[in-house]
Every structure is written in structure tokens, then in C-alpha cells.
């Protein structure tokens, strides 16, 4: 366990032996990533990030966020099995259904293992981009650089991904050490969504660089680009509101639909000030008093209002994409399908009193909808094919 005198921002709870084992395992992951084809590496990292977003929702919904109340280990150990005595003691003190038990510990640690692996894969991208850059500057290394698959990728994108995933790791740590503080947990969710969006953009960029037709950018009017970006930003705001609902456990503050607890009112009694005071402990107001039902309803109702706004804006974007270019019709269809599925799941989550499967699916489909809009934004306003292939063409001429 960490020294209680250490500030919670910097606590690190792995014994020396366990820390060495952890580093060795991460280095093995690094070696595996170096052997992977570049396009496959980016795609796998994006897929794992999508899975981790859904699994993060499962961690919250099963109240497993404090299943191991230190970081990155579990009572200083790499595996919950090594910490059985400490977990049993916590269960004896807090009860079997308290924040700590064996199942919750494994759920939390599995989340950390996958997150660490994603971090390693992104580190691989950065290392390979650096190697490719240095090799591309030397004619004798040119062929090896091309075979390595990263000579024309550039360093900026992998560096950006590395910075974001590092910050995401810190917020994951603070989620635990700051006892599930809602703004920290919500920021952690948003960081995961941002990382996923950046990976999707990077994946599209690499597909275009490889010459895949469906990843090519398309010339459209400025109004189409604008509405797609507005839809993307609006969805990001709605995801924040959804995360705020989840991290404050406000899903059932309104237990029916479309009204709120049978009141049938367009605007139920709410306390916006309580609901949207960002810097406070879980379930508490800044003065230490408990958050009222009116504060929880404000959080829930804001998400419903946001859902209406987001639906209108996203449908408008899909319609404009449908009309803008024949090559964008399939993308517009995927956007509408993901939006419809998200609406149905969201309503069902309330009507069926938040079953875990539906709530996890709600997070998962939100990320899928985000991906469809990121792809659309890339295709209408991403880098041109000419810019993407400029480096590759130069390399071919040098051979």
C-alpha cells in the first residue's frame, strides 16, 4: 500500500518485484507490437480502446471502481489473488457488498491490464514512427524503413496519441485515489472517447495513405463540413452529459419516459446548481451535505434535453451527407443506424431500470456513433490524397 503521507496525485502502489514483473510484461507487449503490420497495429489499438470504453462502463455499473483501492496494483500486488488477505479483511470490515471484494478486484484490475496494453501499443506506434523517421533519412536504410511500415507516417500523430493515453492513465489513477470524484471519472470517460476518436482519425489517415478508396477524402461544400463538425461537437457534449449521469448515479432519478417519475411534466422540479457543481465529492454538495433528488434530476433531465438536440443535429448532418456525394451515402446510413440504436437503448435503459447489459451497450454504441461521425468528418475535411501520398511518391522516386 502507498504511504498515506504521499499526495494522492502521486501515489504508486506496487512492490519492487511486482513492478519489475509489470515492466517486463509491458516490454513483451512492446516487442509484439514491433512485429505487427502498421495498419493492423492502429486498427487493433482502436478496437481495444472501443472495448475498454464499454468495459469501463461495466466497471462503474458494478461499483468496481474501488475494487482495488490503490493504483496501479491491488494492495501493492500485481494480481488480486496475491492480495486475498487484504481483500478478505476489507470485506470483513465493510461487508461482502462493500466497495471491495474479490470479483470487483478482478474486474478493476482487468480494466487496468487492458488499459496498460493499449498504452504499450501506442508507445509502439511512437517508437516505430521515430525509427522510420531516422531510417528514411539514410538511403541505406530506406528499404528497411518501408518494410517497417512507418517511414512516411510522421511522428506528430503517434506523439499526440502517446500524450493523450498518458493523461488518460493519470486520470484513471486519480479516479481511484480521489475516490470516484464525479468530475475526475467523467473526464476519464471523455479522455477515452477522445483517444478513440483520434485513433479512428489516424486509422482513416493510414487507410488513405495505403490507397483504400473508401477512406479517400471527398470535396464537398463548406456547409456540409460545418454541419458534420457541429454534429461531432454536439455529440461530444452529449457524451459528457451521459458520463455525468453515470458517474453521479443519476440514471434512475427519472424512472419513466418521456416524463419524470410519473409527473408528466415537461420540466420536473430540478436543482441545476446542485446538479452541475462540478468540483465535489461523489453524492455530496461542496458543503458536505448529500446531493438532493432535485440535483440528480437536473443531471438526468439535462441529458434528455441534450439527446433531443443531438438527435436533430446528427440527423441534419446525415441528411446533408446523403445529398452531398454518392460516396458518402453509406456513411450517412451508418450514422442514422447508430443514432437510432442509441436512442432505443437509452430509452430502454430507463424503462427497464438500468440493466447492466443495456447500460454498457449505451456506452458502446455512443462510441460507435462517435466513430461514424469522426469518419464522416475525415472524409469531408481530412488531409487530401495528394498530401497523404506526397512522401510515399518521393520515396519511390528515390529508389
Please give the positions annotated as active site: 108
Please choose, from the candidates 101, 95, 93, the residue with its C-alpha nearest in 3D space to the C-alpha of residue 74. 101
Question: Helix %, strand %, coil % for the chain, to 5?
Answer: 70, 0, 25
Whether 196 and 365 have beta carbons less than 8 Å apart is answered as no
In sequence order, what are the residues at sequence separation of 6 or more whose Cβ sits closer than 8 angstroms to the Cβ of residue 397?
Answer: none
How far is the C-alpha of 208 from the C-alpha of 202, rounded, in Å? 10
Do residues 79 and 86 make contact, with C-beta atoms less than 8 angstroms apart? no
Q: How far is CA 351 from the centre of its chain?
A: 26
**Spatial distance between the Cα atoms of 280 and 285, rounded to a whole number of angstroms:** 6
Residues 6+ apart with CB under 8 A from 281: 179, 181
Phi and psi at residue 91, in whole multiples of 5°?
-65, -35
d(CA 155, CA 136): 12
Cβ-contact 245, 349 below 8 angstroms: no
Alpha carbons within 13 angstroms on the beta-carbon side of residue 177 total 22
Q: What is the dihedral of CA 166, 172, 177, 180, to 10 degrees?
A: 150
Instruction: Please state, in angstroms and rounded to a whole number, the distance separating the CA atoms of residues 124 and 148.
Output: 12
Amino acid at each position: 500500500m502507498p504511504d498515506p503521507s504521499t499526495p494522492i496525485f502521486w501515489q504508486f502502489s506496487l512492490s519492487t518485484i511486482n513492478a519489475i514483473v509489470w515492466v517486463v510484461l509491458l516490454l513483451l507487449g512492446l516487442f509484439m507490437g514491433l512485429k505487427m503490420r502498421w495498419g493492423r497495429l492502429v486498427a487493433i489499438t482502436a478496437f481495444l480502446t472501443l472495448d475498454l470504453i464499454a468495459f469501463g462502463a461495466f466497471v462503474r455499473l458494478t461499483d468496481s471502481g474501488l475494487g482495488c483501492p490503490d493504483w496501479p496494483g491491488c494492495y501493492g500486488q500485481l494480481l488480486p489473488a496475491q492480495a486475498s488477505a487484504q481483500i478478505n479483511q476489507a470485506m470483513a470490515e465493510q461487508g461482502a457488498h462493500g466497495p471491495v471484494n474479490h470479483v470487483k478486484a478482478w474486474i478493476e484490475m482487468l480494466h487496468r491490464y487492458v488499459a496498460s496494453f493499449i498504452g504499450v501499443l501506442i508507445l509502439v506506434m511512437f517508437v516505430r514512427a521515430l525509427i522510420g523517421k531516422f531510417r528514411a533519412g539514410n538511403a541505406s536504410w530506406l528499404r528497411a524503413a518501408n518494410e517497417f511500415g512507418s517511414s512516411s507516417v510522421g511522428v506528430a500523430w503517434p506523439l499526440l496519441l502517446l500524450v493523450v493515453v498518458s493523461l488518460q492513465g493519470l486520470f484513471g489513477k486519480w479516479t481511484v485515489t480521489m475516490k470516484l470524484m464525479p468530475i475526475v471519472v467523467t473526464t476519464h470517460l471523455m479522455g477515452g472517447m477522445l483517444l478513440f476518436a483520434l485513433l479512428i482519425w489516424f486509422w482513416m489517415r493510414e487507410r488513405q495513405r495505403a490507397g483504400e478508396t473508401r477512406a479517400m477524402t471527398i470535396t464537398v461544400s463548406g456547409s456540409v463540413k460545418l454541419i458534420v463538425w457541429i454534429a461531432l461537437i454536439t455529440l461530444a457534449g452529449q457524451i459528457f452529459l451521459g458520463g455525468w449521469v453515470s458517474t453521479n448515479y443519476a440514471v434512475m432519478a427519472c424512472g419513466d419516459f418521456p416524463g419524470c417519475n410519473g409527473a408528466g411534466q415537461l420540466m420536473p422540479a430540478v436543482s441545476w446548481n446542485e446538479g452541475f457543481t462540478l468540483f465535489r465529492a461523489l453524492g455530496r454538495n461542496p458543503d458536505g451535505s448529500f446531493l438532493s433528488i432535485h440535483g440528480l434530476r437536473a443531471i438526468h433531465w439535462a441529458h434528455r434535453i441534450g439527446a433531443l438536440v443531438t438527435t436533430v443535429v446528427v440527423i441534419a448532418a446525415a441528411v446533408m451527407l446523403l445529398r452531398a456525394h454518392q460516396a458518402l451515402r453509406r456513411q450517412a446510413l451508418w450514422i442514422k443506424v447508430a443514432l437510432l440504436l442509441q436512442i432505443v437503448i437509452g430509452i430502454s435503459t430507463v424503462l427497464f431500470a438500468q440493466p447492466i447489459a443495456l447500460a454498457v451497450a449505451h456506452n458502446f454504441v455512443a462510441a460507435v456513433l462517435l466513430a461514424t461521425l469522426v469518419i464522416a468528418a475525415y472524409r469531408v475535411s481530412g488531409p487530401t490524397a495528394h498530401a497523404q501520398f506526397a512522401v510515399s511518391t518521393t520515396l519511390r522516386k528515390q529508389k
